[in-house]
Amino acid sequence: MAKTTTVKGAVARHPTLLDIAKIAKVAPMTVSRVINDKGYVSAEVRKRVQRAIDKLEYHPNALARSLKSQRTHVVGILLPDIKNPFSAELAGSIQQVLLERGYSAFISTTEQSVQREQAALSAFFDHRVAGIVVATLETKSGDEALERFIRRGMPIVAVGREPGLAVVDRVTANHWRGAFDAVEHLISLGHQRIAYIGASAPHARRLRRFEGFCDALHEHGLAAREQWIVGPAEDSGPGYSTLADGYEAMQRLLTLSTRPTAILARNDFTAMGAMSAAREHGLAIPNDVAIVGFDNVPLAAFTTPPLTTVEQPTAEQGRRAAAMLLERIEGEVEGEHREVSFDCRLIVRASTQKAAECSE
Amino acid sequence: MAKTTTVKGAVARHPTLLDIAKIAKVAPMTVSRVINDKGYVSAEVRKRVQRAIDKLEYHPNALARSLKSQRTHVVGILLPDIKNPFSAELAGSIQQVLLERGYSAFISTTEQSVQREQAALSAFFDHRVAGIVVATLETKSGDEALERFIRRGMPIVAVGREPGLAVVDRVTANHWRGAFDAVEHLISLGHQRIAYIGASAPHARRLRRFEGFCDALHEHGLAAREQWIVGPAEDSGPGYSTLADGYEAMQRLLTLSTRPTAILARNDFTAMGAMSAAREHGLAIPNDVAIVGFDNVPLAAFTTPPLTTVEQPTAEQGRRAAAMLLERIEGEVEGEHREVSFDCRLIVRASTQKAAECSE
DNA sequence: CTGTTAGCGCATTCAG
DNA sequence: CTGAATGCGCTAACAG
């Protein structure tokens, strides 16, 4: 058990700069110069070093590098739920930009658990990520943690968040307007009894799209009946709403004596769940009940009938967020924190248009 | 610009063990003991140290720790495409297990690009991840990179991969059997002309589920017509097949003089795309054409008609893979590499059963 | 053009 | 029970 570094022959762990230096018979510093292509190194020596690097399949240790340089090339991405296709697309687009710029991503999801949120942020912190993209809903403890980061000067970009406490760059889409337009669309089709599904009132109030729903109704002299705002059970937390949630919500609506004639769903999956429930009850879409989704997931164009929905530019938000974060990290931008808001767009499909022929 | 560490008052960067030690008037080592709860520290001193830690919001630097200990608590996850719901669920389930055991995840996707694959694996390597879960399809360069890792003793678990070169633990589901059962189901319903959509022949051959399809046909004396195996354009790489792919594939099938009466789709999304195309052409499902998907994504139960599909236990595969990886990492298991195969299960829904009433 | 020195933040020796 | 020394792998700042 010699204490010396492994001699050739042994199945060494990771070779280090020093190993290379020895083989190439140069100083470690010179190897470093070759690797980083910094400073002058004679072609001769460079070649020798390169050969040693190739031979040992040497990869510089990013940990040591970061420890020395006091900066990492790792960005933390905090998402509510990776199974949510919105999150997935966001993550994908963020990563794409990061990768192009030589960064890697630490991805964590909170799954609606405060513990997980804390654990994730802690891990980001411990690993000294260069910056963070947060796309989760605000929570008290989460905001506190983020503020600690901010105090340490860590760049943060929030996606789809309210302008809360944290003084950070923000990227959003105008969900309020999107929902507003969707409701006006329904009203213009003659609907008066419009429901919102996907979030029960307490949680819904935190969603801009829900506000847009309420405001549009109000503007047209309609009321948002408590009965017609239905979401998952109160205690299930502020999660992404799913197919099953939409299905159940619709079922509940169908038991009411006064049923709504149109539905704005929190997202496309909720909408699809609702469509499924409606159909089971023998209702025709859009003739008996019109349904509007939110997000325009790829699938929305392929449902039966195709789903009217509010499109938000997900990938664009991700790309923009990543770009803004990198600007901060690399010090290209300083000072006042910026806000970027993208427009949503109503995409009208057959789930709301009263078709000429009696479909379904 | 004093060279000394920042005095109190300044908005310091990250405090270190030494900062804590100074404030608590102890040696750095003692602080380390408190943090790791290792060795004896008097309650008195412990309290003093803890106060300093809280005051400075000290978080140990994971980089320095790893450099010293020569091990990280980070696992690399390599996925084909995060937008693919199978990948997303896999990632989610893997992360869940990792988190419970105090590990974090470096997630990267290859997006069918060899460059991205290399970059991702390189990043894993550079950051000295403790282990890797790979769920991508085999590629030459990818396998080479993985072999380098293996030579360095890095634990790797492959999910859904062929028993290729790499000597690693493997977790799979029996796609062959799943597809086989699906085809037999169709045959038992009287179908003779069965198509496969979602991968063109060259790529399809790498998919076990495609083999199951062929073998089942063969076993029943049916032929796999070249015309009836249709996927995205040849040059689009071995990607996850999408809604649009399924839609186009179905359209192509519908132009044939002899149309298939049943379809096995590569996955549920391909199947949904196909359903959409069939419906546009005025075909009824399942009466004019029966469709079977693969994966049993949540949505499959909510399509019109609900989709018959082959379920694979995605989350279980992820959890198992994570558990196996951690066993290797923590040295609980050594030696021979293991294989775990989960069963797939055919879930029969209305997209194949000839319904009694004339639905649609 | 190349080598030497020193230290990033932490934890494993080994002494008190 | 606590402290001092040492080095993980790398690179900035200086020599030569």
Q: Strand D: which positions are within 7 A of a protein CB? A: 1-5, 7-13
In degrees and rounded to multiples of 5, residue B339 shows phi and psi of: -130, 135
Cβ of B95 within 8 Å of Cβ of A109? The answer is yes
Whether A12 shows a pLDDT value over 60: the answer reads no
pLDDT per residue over A169-179, tens digit each? 999 999 999 99
Chain CA centroid to CA A86, Å: 6
pLDDT at A7: 33
Q: What is the pLDDT of residue B240?
A: 59
Residue nearest to nucleotide D8 (CA to C1'): B68
Closest-CA residue of chain B to A116: B99
**How many angstroms away from the CA of A216 is the closest CA of chain B?**
30
* CA-based nearest distance B122→chain A, Å: 8
Contact A104 B127 (CB under 8 A): yes
- Asked if residue A323 has pLDDT above 90, the reply is yes
| B62 sits within 7 Å of strand D by its CB | no
| Cα within 13 Å of Cα(B20), Cβ side | 28
> Cβ separation of A275 and B302 shorter than 8 Å?
yes
Upstream peptide bond of B306 is cis (omega within 30 degrees of 0): no
pLDDT in tens, A14-31: 899 888 888 888 888 888
Mean pLDDT along residues B51-69: 91
- How many Cβ pairs within 8 Å bridge chains A and B? 153
> What pLDDT does residue A234 have?
56
Looking at per-residue pLDDT, the higher value among B221 and B335 belongs to: B221
Cα–Cα distance, B271 to B355 (Å, whole number): 19
- The answer to whether residue B70 neighbours chain A at the CB level (below 8 Å) is yes
- Is the four-CA dihedral B55, B61, B64, B68 of positive or negative sign? positive
Query: Distance in angstroms, CA of A18 to C1' of D8?
Result: 12
Give the model confidence (pLDDT) of B323-332 as tens digits: 999 999 998 8
- Is the pLDDT score of A296 beyond 50? yes
Confidence band of B130 (pLDDT split at 50, 70, 90): very high
| pLDDT of A218 over the 80 cut | yes
- Helix B43-56, helix B17-24: angle, nearest 10: 120
Look up tokens 């329904």; give the residue: A186
pLDDT at A39 exceeding the cut of 80: no
pLDDT in tens, A226-261: 889 988 765 555 555 678 889 999 999 999 999 999
> In the predicted model, what is the mean pLDDT of residues A29-37?
88
Asked if the model's pLDDT at residue B11 lies above 60, the reply is: no
State the average pLDDT over residues A327-348. 91
Cβ neighbours for A1, distance < 8 A, ≥ 6 positions apart: none
Is strand D less than 7 A from the beta carbon of B40? yes
Q: Grade residue A108 by pLDDT with cuts at 50, 70 and 90.
A: very high
Q: What pLDDT does B351 receive?
A: 95
CB-based contact (8 Å) between B315 and chain A?
Answer: no
Confidence of residue A5 (pLDDT cuts 50, 70, 90): very low
pLDDT value of position A2: 32
The strand pairing partners of B294, in sequence order, are B310
Q: B136: pLDDT confidence band, cut at 50, 70 and 90?
A: very high
Contact A122 B59 (CB under 8 A): yes
Q: Cβ–Cβ of B242/A275 closer than 8 Å?
A: no
pLDDT of residue B133 exceeding 60, the answer is yes
pLDDT at B64 over 80: yes
| pLDDT over 50 (residue A1) | no
B-facing residues of A in 210-269 (CB < 8 A) are 242-244, 247, 269
Nucleotide nearest to B67 in CA–C1' terms:
D8
Q: Is the CB of B70 under 7 A from strand D?
A: yes
The percentage of residues in chain B with a pLDDT greater than 70, rounded to a whole number, is 91
Amino acid at site A15: P
* A61 nearest nucleotide via C1' and CA: D9
Residue B343 has a CB neighbour count (10 Å cut-off) of 12
pLDDT given for residue A358 in this prediction: 35
The confidence band for B302, taking pLDDT boundaries of 50, 70 and 90, is: confident
Q: How far apart are CA A89 and CA A70, in angstroms?
A: 31
Give A231 or A181, the one with higher predicted confidence: A181
- 3-state SS of A42-84? CHHHHHHHHHHHHHHCCCCCHHHHHHHHCCCCEEEEEECCCCC
Query: Over 60: is that where the pLDDT of A8 sits?
Result: no
Minimal-distance CA residue of chain B relative to A63: B63
Residue A35 has pLDDT above 70, yes or no: yes
pLDDT at residue number B200: 76
CA closest to C1' of D3 belongs to B27
Residues of chain A numbered 159-188 and touching chain B (CB < 8 Å): none
The letter for the amino acid at A174 is N
CB contact (8 A) between residue B92 and residue A109: yes
Q: Which residue has the tokens 């990607």?
A: B239
A13 touching B, CB under 8 A? yes
What's chain A's average pLDDT?
87
Q: Spell out which residues of chain A touch residue B107, defining contact as CB-CB under 8 Å.
A: 91, 95, 105, 107
Element (H, E) at B147: helix B140-151
Question: Looking at this protein, which amino acid is placed at residue A193?
Answer: R
> Among partner residues B67, B99, B247, which is closest to A67 by beta-carbon distance?
B67
The answer to whether the beta carbon of residue B223 comes closer than 7 angstroms to any atom of strand D is no
pLDDT of residue B199: 78
A74's tokens: 């790792």
Residue numbers in A near B62 (CB within 8 A)? 123, 126-128
A347's tokens: 């995409």
In this predicted structure, which of A3-7, A186-190, A293-297, B139-143 has the lowest mean pLDDT? A3-7
Residue B72 to residue A81, Cβ atoms within 8 A: no
Helix/strand/coil for B56: helix
A108 touching B, CB under 8 A?
Answer: yes
Put simply, the chain B residues between 21 and 60 with a CB less than 8 A from any chain A CB are 57, 59-60
The residue of A73, A74, A107 whose CB has the most chain B CBs within 10 angstroms, and thus the best one to mutate to test that interface, is: A107
- Is it the case that residue B4 has pLDDT exceeding 60? no
pLDDT at B252: 93
